[in-house]
Amino acid sequence: MAESTAVAPTDQADLRQRVDHALAEFFQRRRRWLVDVDEALRPVAAAIEDFVLGGGKRLRPAFGYWGYRGAGGPDDAAVVSALAALELVQASALIHDDLMDGSDTRRGEPAIHRRFAAQHQRSGWRGSAHDFGSAAAVLLGDLCLVWSDEVLHGAGLDAEMLRRARPVFDEMRTEVTIGQYLDVLTQYTADTSVERASQVARYKSAKYTVERPLLLGAALADAPPPLAHAYSAYGLPLGEAFQLRDDVLGVFGDPARTGKPAGDDLREGKRTYLVASAYQASGAAARAVLDRRLGDPALDPDGIAELRELIVASGALALTEARIAELTERALAALEPAAVDPLARQVLVELATAATSRTG
């Protein structure tokens, strides 16, 4: 994250540590409960702890916290603990997304369905290791979503704060779920329109990454409607820019930084804005290559290189980078006239840079 004269980097690191501490305490309690039920549940507790605490940038709690502070909310340990629930929503989405995409890794480690398939194989159990891993991933993703509720409700917020926060939290979880469905649907229908790609980006990622966390923080602070509107005008384009950066990294990113194999999105056949733009800008021959190669799980390094070259030659990469810059500028412009606490405003500017210029 970029340095700032207004906010020392250690302040942001401290926020992450506080979120991680709240999650670690919650996992400790739930691990004891699970093991009391059955020792066979210890790997479930360990897998979720490793997945959540082993990586991630904590962007969603950061946007939530600074949305709260920007509306005049004082620093509050209960608020930080409540916003830790966003990391469990994120974990649920990622676990399910990896399963649906057939991804092998996440953050450089085996995806949850692969981890449990490997446990099945090591143990010599009956049936299909693949099916066992898939079932485990569905259930662990569901468990993370259930636990997100527990973290929010058990954080120590007063009843009025919780009442204001609840509708935003519920709407956010609905949006990310339907966004995931639209993403899957788009792959199966092979819809290559830029309009559908943008819609998927908004609902699958943009809203629950930036806009809804900001609005959750605003609700906790009882922000006035004009400020909430400004947060939406900042958060939605910024969240879309964040997803577009993710799409670029999914094709051109360094696996050492992204934690996923090179070109994974191409193997999975993701109809992202980047890919949709390549379709839109390409001639018949190039489109035929995209149709043949995109979504091939056996796509080798040469095939990935061919698709990368095609995307660059079509101008789609440059177009996507320009779109990221445009959306980021729009987000920052929406924040400028808003009545946001100056310290929070500066951090939100920094977060915009961190979200859209990252390399992993």
Find the CATH number of the domain harbouring 244. Answer: 1.10.600.10
Q: What is the pLDDT of residue 254?
A: 87
Per-residue pLDDT tens digits for 153-175:
999 999 999 999 999 999 999 99
Whether residue 144 is contained in a domain is answered as yes
Query: Rounded to the nearest 5°, which phi and psi values hold at 356?
Result: -105, -10
Residue 253 belongs to a domain: yes
Provide the domain limits for residue 24: 9-350
**Torsion sign (Cα): 281, 286, 288, 291:** negative
Mean of the per-residue pLDDT values of the chain: 92
Q: Is residue 358 part of a domain?
A: no
Structure tokens, 37 = 């039920």
Q: Residue 1 domain-assigned?
A: no
Contact 259, 105 (CB under 8 A): yes
| Residue 174 tokens, joined | 């609905």
One-letter amino acid at 102 equals G
Measured distance CA(91)–CA(98) in Å, rounded: 11
173-208 pLDDT per residue, tens: 999 999 999 999 998 998 989 999 999 999 988 999
Question: pLDDT tens digits for the chain (360 residues)?
Answer: 333 333 334 467 899 999 999 999 999 999 999 999 999 999 999 999 999 999 888 999 999 999 999 999 999 999 999 999 999 999 999 999 999 989 899 988 999 999 999 999 999 999 999 999 999 999 999 999 999 999 999 999 999 999 999 999 999 999 999 999 999 999 899 898 999 999 999 998 899 999 999 999 999 999 999 999 999 999 999 999 999 999 999 999 888 888 778 788 899 888 999 999 999 999 999 999 999 999 998 899 999 999 999 999 999 999 999 999 999 999 999 998 878 999 999 999 999 999 998 877
Q: Contact, 112 vs 70, CB < 8 A?
A: no
Do 28 and 57 contact (CB within 8 A), yes or no? no
Q: How far apart are CA 174 and CA 183, in angstroms?
A: 14
In angstroms, the CA 330 to CA 322 distance is 12
For residue 286, with 0-12 CB atoms within 10 Å meaning exposed, 13-18 middle and 19 or more buried, which class applies?
A: middle
Number of domains composing the chain: 1
- Has residue 2 been placed in a domain? no
105, containing H or E segment: strand 105-106
Residue 291, domain member (yes or no): yes
Helix extents (H) in the chain = 9-37, 42-53, 59-70, 77-83, 85-101, 112-123, 129-153, 159-189, 194-201, 212-220, 225-252, 255-258, 264-268, 273-281, 284-293, 301-314, 316-335, 342-356
In a domain, 83, yes or no: yes
* 360 domain-assigned: no
